[in-house]
Amino acid sequence: MISLPSIATEQQAAQAWQDPSIFRVNKLPPRAFYYPTATEQNAFTMEPWQLDNYKLLNGQWKFNWVDSPSRKPDGFEKVTYNDASWDEIAVPANWELNGYGSPFYHSHYCLIPNTEQIELPRYYNPVGSYRKIINIDESWNNKQILIHFGAVKSAFYIYVNGQQVGYSEDSKTAAEFDITPYVSKGENTLALQVYRYSTGSYFECQDMWRMSGIERDVYLYAAPKVRISDFEANTTLIDNYTNGELTLTTTVQNHTKQTHANFDLLVSLLDANDKVMSTKTLSVPKIKEQQSTQVKAVFKVNDVLPWSAEVPNLYKLKIGLRNSNEQVVEWIGKSIGFRSSELKNGNILVNGKPVLFKGVNRHEHDPVTGHVVSKESMEKDVALMKAFNINAVRMAHYPQDPYIYHLADKYGLYVMDEANIESHGMGAANQGKYDPSAHLVNKLSWQNAYIDRISNMYHRSKNNPSVVMRSLGNESGDGINLEASYDWLKRQAPGFPVVSEQAQLRRHTDVYGQMYAPIQSATRYAKTMHDVSRPMILIEYEHAMGNSVGNLEEYWQAFEKYSQLQGGFIWDWVDQTFAMKNSKGELFWAYGGDLEPPFAVSAKSFAANGLVYADRTPYPYLWEVKQVQQNIDFELSSKTPYEINVINKQFFADLSDFTLSWQLMANGIEVEQGANLGINAKPQTSQRVSLPIKTKLKAGIEYFLNVQAVLKSAKNTLPTGHVVASEQLALTGFALTNNTKSASLKVKDSENSLAFSTKNAQFTFNKKTGLLNEINVFKKSLLANNVAQPVQPNFWRAPTDNDLPQKGYGDSFAVWQHAGSNITLTSFSSKKVSSTQYKVETEHTLNNVESRYFTTYTINGNGVVNVDVYFYAAPHNSYSALPRLGMQFVVNENFKNVQWYGRGPHENYDDRKSSAFVGLYQSDVDSLRVPYVRPQENGHKTDVRYVTFYNDKGIGVKFSGDPLIGFNASFYDMHDYDKSTEQVNRRNMHPSDLTKAPYIFVNIDYKQRGVGGTDSWGSKPLYEYELPWLDYKYSYKIEAVKLNAKK
């Protein structure tokens, strides 16, 4: 590990924050995370604050903030300093969320935008000074007194009773100091000076809010003068992965001025039920004064129960330190797991199996407290991940609170740990041009700082079985310092997988860690360009910014087909937004640009790219993640009798923890069901299950078989009855039904209008515009009277975050925004087909795109209107793909109730619909809305057989596909969502900024383009989900209906 002189000169200490060669002064070596205790019964505690040897220092501290080092208070560290005029601040807390300075959000800048110069800000570099009186109890006499800072950003000096103790950088791993020489019994003055910017800041250019302060717990603990200062429990599987081996290395530190002998280590290994598996008493060699020694031992466990994310078996390791007087003076407890992780045969193997990483990237973020994240929040994250079939998490982009690793160990998540290294603002390999020679990654003077951060990461989580890969950092350039970091890690754990995305296929990475590789690129690697020695893992993919996460199913088809594609980590888990209220008291989610001063450079809504909102409410696409990543699949193998194949895609667990449930659906309604069928397929095998379905299928009815795997009893955060996997299997196709009733049709033709009346409906056309401008159903006006918009073509959607960066949304795509309203009637005709049927034919020129739009309305006396549309793309010109193709109705607000037979219940799009099963659903228009952080297209439904909008008396209108349509409905005008189609001209918008209209915008679509998800800076949806510049034909029906009652 890195060592520095324990004492820096006064001048060196004063300038440490500006000197890349000084990053730790008097800071204790990094160690594994654990809470040493004085008693055996508390050895495994995760809450030691009530124990006699701990003092939690969280709470109120005296605080002073200045905007520049030149203004920091002199002599503040002295005991006699008068801090009466200072404020108080909570610890832990970010300054900027408590009224001191502003948070800044950017995706990659370091300190100064668009520069590669290593130059700390001369004027604006806030400094926070802290003071707190701490009491040292008499019972701590003859103890070693240590102080622990879980995370402080970006660098700090610590003083005790006026004396400088040390200095620390690396804001996301713990800093510990031995303050024994500086304290005395009774009151002591603890002082900190924290710098917002330091040379360490050039390692911390992550895609996150830039904030400062003490971000995790601060506490004192008292240890014996001879103590366990660290231990490493290196576990693996041996004998063809059947038995476990633990290599335990324990470091014992002597803080006294005399040699100590006759110390022992009492080591016990217990299983989850506290059955003793092994015990050993290990003699500690003589330890000279102020020195340490290491004690090594190997334990073998036959027929071990391995740890995996599927089956997180844990054992209990307990270590006691016994002195020469036969007193056990210290206890350490740690839950460990036996697992192996290795690069072998071109794959990362966990316990010998090429597991698939169904992962997410996770930042630490809370919507109120920022980078201060509670245990409850972490527990919620893990529970949600397990519930939605996420089995892996990349600690993006820094080591995170130790408690999240504890939860990953306990409940089962594979972890890619990551060093707190990102110098993105200076340039990143594989992302365009940058000057490697000017980059920190190739400066030898910075190499020790790199290794220090790698070492901090390694030691802290080295005993967590959930950690199966280690990352050298993120988007930090590539060069000699990353090579040295890789080599350092390989010396500590030679066979353990190390990842560097920046290295690509160079020697210093065990994984081809790609970011946002399109499906075609990943497939090409697997087919033709692969490096047989290592797999591709998408360490970032499916950028979940706004309405996104399209084509996830296609990614997973590739991952499951090609063995060298081992999955990926979606970007990212949680929106980095803040809960704020506007001037009207309405809650909104603030993102980049909302909190910064006007001059600030911000990446704006790039802060909002989570699978969940900041309060952990799931976005609709989290259901798609659950569906696509489920570990159990179902296939229909026979209809006579009904049998399905249940496919166990797990690598370690059979299916005996689950039962099978099923429902037979007829036109979206359940007609038969069953439950509690036993399943027990072994890992990577399938099992045929017979279903006792008695219903005879009838012609003209669409039947689906819905099946689920259900958890028998609570397990790993999941409750009894939790559905872990489901599928919808089509038994018959959709059959169109026609209203064959015949009735007379009344026609009223005037100079400006043509009206058709049936028993229950009236349809009126404006002959000057050729558009349908009045619809009455059961004598109720369907179209809103307080808006002058007729039924008209619509080609636009409010741009999604994925739409906006695409070349065209600022120029050629913009032609579609008003293409449906900027039209010229070129032909209008009507003809009587029979006494019960008329046809109205119109032709319009779409002026924006020089194309023609033909519509044929067949009005029937039974109240059904057949609408046939032909979009004729101008053959002599070419425009960008269409955002959507459909027609918009502005509907009276009373028709706010919705029933549809199609995919649901949640929002879905053509490239994100596998989780939305076909069914008969009820809702209201308000509930269809998805309030994305930046307003954009939302609430769509695909594969709709029919949708009905009706009032509280059941009177309504039914739109039926011929065969299928899509729809969405909203009280908000899409043209108000974002006035600019240019990304550069956009202003920050929020759902609370929109005005709710007194009418409903109903879009009946042939198709809408997919939402995409490959990235949010230019990639389009897959071609099969586009609406390219082509001719299109589609049909649907309009019908007045009266439902029995409001559902």
pLDDT, tens digit (0-9, with 9 covering 90-100), for 520-578: 999 999 998 767 899 999 999 999 999 999 999 999 999 999 999 999 999 999 999 99
DSSP 404: H
Q: How far is CA 616 from CA 94, 527, 577, in A?
A: 21, 39, 11
Contacts made by residues 840-848, CB under 8 angstroms, sequence distance 24+: 840/754, 840/765, 842/770, 842/771, 843/770, 844/770, 844/793, 846/793, 846/819, 846/820, 846/822, 847/819, 847/822, 847/823, 848/815, 848/816, 848/818, 848/819, 848/822
**Residue 426 has what pLDDT?**
81
The one catalytic residue in 310, 475, 554, 907 is: 475
- Which one is catalytic: 310, 342, 540, 542? 540
Tell whether 134 is covered by a domain: yes
Q: Is the pLDDT reported for residue 283 higher than 70?
A: yes
Whose CA is closest to 18, among 118, 129, 127, 91? 118
Average pLDDT over residues 800-813: 70
CATH classification of the domain holding 480: 3.20.20.80
Same domain, 836 and 961: yes
DSSP letter, residue 876: T
Question: β-strands 357-362, 392-395: how paired?
Answer: parallel
Whole-number Å distance between alpha carbons of 382 and 716: 10
993-1018 confidence digits (pLDDT tens): 999 999 999 999 999 999 999 999 88
Give the chain's domain count: 5
Question: Do residue 211 and residue 271 come from a single domain?
Answer: no
Residue 453 or 742, more confident:
453
Residue 676 resides in a domain: yes
Q: Give the model confidence (pLDDT) of 907-931 as tens digits.
A: 999 999 999 999 999 999 999 999 9
Query: Quick one: 830 and 901 in the same domain?
Result: yes
Region 152-177 average pLDDT: 98
- Integer Cα distance of 881 and 996 in angstroms: 30
Share of the chain above pLDDT 90, in %: 88
Question: Within 10 A of 4 (CB to CB), how many other CB atoms are there?
Answer: 17
Considering the domain boundaries, does residue 425 fall inside one? yes
118 falls within a domain: yes
Residue 490 backbone dihedrals phi, psi, to 5 degrees: -70, -25
Residues 507 and 538 in one domain: yes
Q: What is the pLDDT of residue 108?
A: 72
Whether residues 568 and 465 fall in one domain:
yes
898 and 1034 part of one domain: yes
Sequence-distant (6+) residues with CB within 8 A of 816 are 795, 796, 848, 849, 879, 880, 882, 883
User: DSSP secondary structure string, 350-365?
Assistant: ETTB---EEEEEE---
In this structure, what CATH number is given to the domain that contains residue 206? 2.60.120.260
Which pLDDT tens digit goes with each residue over 745-777? 999 999 999 999 999 999 999 999 999 999 999
Kindly state the tokens that stand for 146: 């240590």
Pair (974, 872) in one structural domain: yes
* CATH code of the domain in which 666 resides: 2.60.40.10
For residue 112, the model assigns a pLDDT of: 55
pLDDT value for 742: 78
The answer to whether the peptide bond before residue 719 is cis (omega within 30 degrees of 0) is no
What is the tally of helices (H) and strands (E) in the chain? 9, 59
Model pLDDT, residue 4: 41
pLDDT at 987 over 90: no
pLDDT at 311: 98
Using CB atoms within 10 A of its CB, is residue 696 exposed (0-12), middle (13-18) or buried (19+)? Answer: exposed
- Our CA angle for 968, 775, 1009, nearest 5°, is 25
Give mean pLDDT, residues 590-617: 90
Residue 874 pLDDT level (bands cut at 50, 70, 90): confident
Q: Is the pLDDT of residue 217 over 90?
A: yes
In eight-state DSSP terms, residue 715 is: B
Q: Looking at the structure, do residues 795 and 893 belong to the same domain, yes or no?
A: yes
Of 164, 216, 150, nearest in space to 26 by CA: 164
Judge whether 741 lies within some domain: no
Is 907 part of the annotated catalytic residue set? no
Q: Classify residue 342: in a domain, yes or no.
A: no
* Residue from 469, 473, 489 nearest 339 by CA: 469
Identify whether residues 778 and 706 lie together within a single domain.
no
> What 8-state DSSP symbol labels residue 528?
I
Res 718 pLDDT > 70: yes
At what angle are helices 621-628 and 552-561 packed, to 10 degrees?
A: 20
Strands 315-322 and 292-301: unpaired
User: Which helix (H) or strand (E) element contains residue 537?
Assistant: strand 536-541
Q: What is the pLDDT of residue 106?
A: 84
Where is the domain boundary, 579, 599, 625? 625
Q: What average pLDDT does range 835-862 have in this prediction?
A: 96
How many C-alpha atoms does 932 have within 13 Å on its Cβ side? 30
Which CATH number goes with the domain that contains 829?
Answer: 2.70.98.10
What confidence category does residue 1047 fall into, taking pLDDT thresholds of 50, 70 and 90? very low
* Poorest-pLDDT segment among 346-350, 599-603, 890-894, 923-927: 599-603
Task: Over range 732-738, report the average pLDDT.
Answer: 81
pLDDT band at 115; cut points 50, 70, 90: very low
Q: Is 1047 domain-assigned? A: no
997 φ/ψ angles, rounded to the nearest 5 degrees = -85, 155
- pLDDT of amino acid 7: 43
**6 has a pLDDT exceeding 50:** no
636/621 same-domain check: no
- Given a cut of 80, whether residue 487 has pLDDT beyond it is yes
- From 625, 655, 683, give the residue that closes a domain: 625
Q: Which domain holds residue 261?
A: 226-336
Q: Is the dihedral of CA 537, 541, 542, 544 positive or negative?
A: positive
Answer yes or no: do 369 and 499 share one domain.
yes
Q: Is the pLDDT confidence value at 462 over 90?
A: yes
Check if 364 is active-site: no
pLDDT of residue 1: 39
Answer with the one of 625, 658, 685 that is the final residue of a domain: 625
Q: Is the pLDDT of residue 26 over 80?
A: yes
Residue 438 belongs to a domain: yes
Q: Do 120 and 204 fall within a single domain?
A: yes
Query: What would the mean pLDDT of 143-160 be, rounded to a whole number?
Result: 98
